[in-house]
Amino acid sequence: MVKPVVAIVGRPNVGKSTLFNRLSGNRISIVEGEPNVTRDRIYADISWLERSFMLIDTGGMEPLNQDLIKNKIKYQAELAIAEADLILFVVDGRSGLTETDREVAQILRKTNKKVILVLNKIEDFSILEQIKWEFYSLGFNEPLPISAEHGKNTGDLLDLIIQCFPESTEEVEPASDLLNIAIVGKPNVGKSSLVNYIVGDERVIVSAIPGTTRDAVDTLVERGDIKYNLIDTAGLRRKARVKSSVEYYSAIRTIRAVERADAVLMMVDATEGITAQDKKIVGYAHDHGKAIVIAVNKWDLIEKDHKTMDLYREEIYLQLKFLRYAPITFISAITGERIPEVLNLLEHVIDQTQQRIKTGVLNEVLEEAIQLREPPGKKGKRLKLYYATQLGIKPPTFAFFVNDPKLMHFSYQRYLENILRQAFGFIGTTIRFKLRERN
C-alpha cells in the first residue's frame, strides 16, 4: 500500500501553510500575512512515531467567489480533497467562525471522508471553553486547539492523524531512483502547462496571468520504468520588478529547486527569444553544475521553414555562449509537440553528468590533444600537463596535475574541454577543471 494522504484545507489566511511548514519541519510553503499566497497543492513527506504519510498544503477556499484565480485555487483544493484519505479542516479560533468556513464545511461533509477540525491560532488555551462552542455547528468532532505558529499541541495533532490510519499501512519504497527535474523560466513561459501535459491532469494552476505559480511544486510522474519528480517553479523576474516579499521568497524557492534537482529544464518563449532574465535564470543552473536542457516553447506560434530551427538554435547559442553544451529542443506545451523528446533528453543529460572516465583512457585522449596543440607558455616557461584524473561526477570534475597552474590560459582550457566532449560526450553538463601543481 502507498502512504496515506492528508490534505490541509480551509478558507484563506487561517494558517494552513504555517501548519504545513510546522508539521513538515521546513519552510516549504510561502507564509505571508495576506490571503491567497498558496495557490497550488504543495506536498511533503511526514514521519511521526515510525509512521509516514503525505501531507498536502492547499490554497484558501472561497466557494462562492467567482474570481478566475480563486476558482482555480478552489479547484486545486478540491483535487487535494479527492486525493486525500484524511482532511485537516483548519479554522481561525482568534477571529471566530465565518460564513466561508460554513461553505467549506459543506463541501467536506459531502465527501464522507474523515475530517479533523483544527482550531488554529489559540495561544491561550484557558479561553478555549468560551470560543469552541460555535465551531460545533460545522458538524464535525471536537475541535483540536493548536497554535501552528508557536507549535502548541501540534504533537497531539500528529498523534491524532496517525490514529486515523489503518494499522496495516505499509511504507512505499524510498524514492532513491527519482529523477528530480526543476522546470525554470521567466513568468508565463508555459512551465505549468508543460507539467500538466506530461501528467495528463491539471496538476498545477495554468493561467494567462504571469506569476500564477508562487511555490516550487513537486509532481511525481512515472514513465515506463523511470520515475520523475517534476518541480514546477515560479518565474523569476528582474530584481527591479520583485516588489513584494512573496515574490522574493518565490525566487528563493526557485533557486533551492535548482540546487536539489538532477537536471534543469530551461524554458524559453519562442515568440520573445532569449531575454536578459533567461540568461540569469539558466546561469544559476550552470553555476551549480546541473545538467541542462533548453526547451523553446510555443513553437507552434512561429512561422517557419526548413532553416528556422537551425537559425533559432544558433541565435540561442550566440546569446548563451557559456551553454553551448546544452541540447535544445523546440516544443509546444499546448499541443504536446516533442514533449516525449524533452523527457528523453533529460534522461540522457542526467546520465552524461554521472559519467566516469577511467584514468588510463582519459590520459590517452589528453596526450593526443597535447600533440595536436602545444600547451601555452609565458616568459619562456611552458605549461606542462603531467596527467589527469576524474575527481567526481554531477558535474564531471577533473584534476589536472601541471608544473604551474598560472600558465593555463582559458583558451587552452576550453580546447581541452572541447576535446573531452568530442571523446566522451558530456552532453548537457558542465565540465569542471581543478589545476594542481605537482612539485
- Domain containing 405 equals 359-437
Q: Do 43 and 153 share a structural domain?
A: yes
Q: Do 194 and 314 share a structural domain?
A: yes
Counting Cβ atoms within 10 Å, is residue 51 exposed (0-12), middle (13-18) or buried (19+)?
middle
Q: Do 345 and 200 share a structural domain?
A: yes
Cell 506536498 locates to 43
Average pLDDT, the chain: 85
Torsion of CA 201, 204, 206, 210, to 10 degrees: -160
Q: Of 163, 197, 228, which closes a domain?
A: 163
Question: What are the two backbone dihedrals, phi and then psi, of residue 221, each rounded to the nearest 5 degrees?
Answer: -135, 140
Would you tell me how many other CB atoms lie within 10 Å of the CB of residue 279?
A: 14
Q: Is the pLDDT of residue 110 over 80?
A: yes
Q: Is the pLDDT of residue 119 over 70?
A: yes
Number of domains in the chain: 3
Each residue of 160-176: b (16+ CB within 10 Å) or e? bbbeebeeeeeeeeeee
Pick the residue with more confidence: 46 or 250? 46
pLDDT score of 327? 97
Question: What are the two backbone dihedrals, phi and then psi, of residue 251, each rounded to the nearest 5 degrees?
Answer: -65, -40
Pick the residue with more confidence: 232 or 428? 428
Torsion of CA 294, 297, 300, 303, to 10 degrees: -70
pLDDT score of 355? 95
Kindly state the percentage of the chain with pLDDT values over 70: 85
- Beta pairing partners, 222: 227
CA 148 from chain center: how many Å?
A: 25
Q: Is the pLDDT of residue 206 over 60?
A: no
Q: Is the pLDDT of residue 368 over 50?
A: yes
Helix axes 245-260, 276-287, angle to 10 degrees: 40
Residue 344 within any structural domain of the chain: yes
Kindly state the percentage of the chain with pLDDT values over 90: 54
Q: Do 209 and 341 share a structural domain?
A: yes
57: number of CA atoms within 13 Å, CB side?
A: 33
Residue 125 within any structural domain of the chain: yes
Q: Do 298 and 266 share a structural domain?
A: yes
Q: Is the pLDDT of residue 253 over 70?
A: no
Q: Do 202 and 287 share a structural domain?
A: yes
Least confident of 35-44, 155-164, 374-383, 427-436: 35-44
**Residue whose C-alpha is closest to residue 45's, from 157, 154, 151, 171:** 171
- Beta pairing partners, 157: none
Q: Do 256 and 142 share a structural domain?
A: no
pLDDT score of 334? 92
Pick the residue with more confidence: 252 or 23? 23
With cut-offs at 50, 70 and 90, classify the pLDDT of residue 37.
very low
Q: Is the pLDDT of residue 207 over 60?
A: no
Q: Do 145 and 23 share a structural domain?
A: yes
Residue 64 within any structural domain of the chain: yes
With cut-offs at 50, 70 and 90, classify the pLDDT of residue 220.
confident
Q: Model confidence over 324-350: pLDDT tens digits?
A: 999 999 999 999 999 999 999 999 999
Q: Is the pLDDT of residue 137 over 60?
A: yes
pLDDT score of 177? 67
- Looking at this protein, which amino acid is placed at residue 291? A
Task: Kindly state the helix (H) or strand (E) to which residue 232 belongs, with its residue range.
Answer: strand 226-232
Q: Of 105, 140, 163, which closes a domain?
A: 163
Pick the residue with more confidence: 207 or 425? 425
Q: Is-contact 206 193, C-beta < 8 A?
A: yes
Q: Is the pLDDT of residue 170 over 70?
A: no
Q: Do 107 and 213 share a structural domain?
A: no
DSSP string, 296-363: EE-GGGS---TTHHHHHHHHHHHH-GGGTTS-EEE-BTTTTBTHHHHHHHHHHHHHHHT----HHHHH
Least confident of 54-63, 73-82, 150-159, 262-271: 73-82
Mean pLDDT of 11-38: 71
Cell 483544493 locates to 77
Task: Kindly state the helix (H) or strand (E) to which residue 191 belongs, with its residue range.
Answer: helix 191-199
Q: Do 98 and 124 share a structural domain?
A: yes
Q: Is-contact 237 277, C-beta < 8 A?
A: yes
Q: Do 192 and 144 share a structural domain?
A: no
Beta strands in 238-290 (DSSP E): 263-269
pLDDT score of 31? 47
Q: Do 203 and 80 share a structural domain?
A: no
Q: Measured between alpha carbons, how far is 72 from 380 in angstroms, rounded to an integer?
A: 70
Residue 29 within any structural domain of the chain: yes
Q: State which of 73-87, 117-131, 355-369 shows the largest mean pLDDT.
A: 355-369
Q: What is the CATH number of the domain that holds 393?
A: 3.30.300.20
Q: Of 317, 352, 387, which closes a domain?
A: 352
Q: What is the CATH number of the domain that holds 297?
A: 3.40.50.300
Residue 170 within any structural domain of the chain: no
Pick the residue with more confidence: 254 or 313? 313
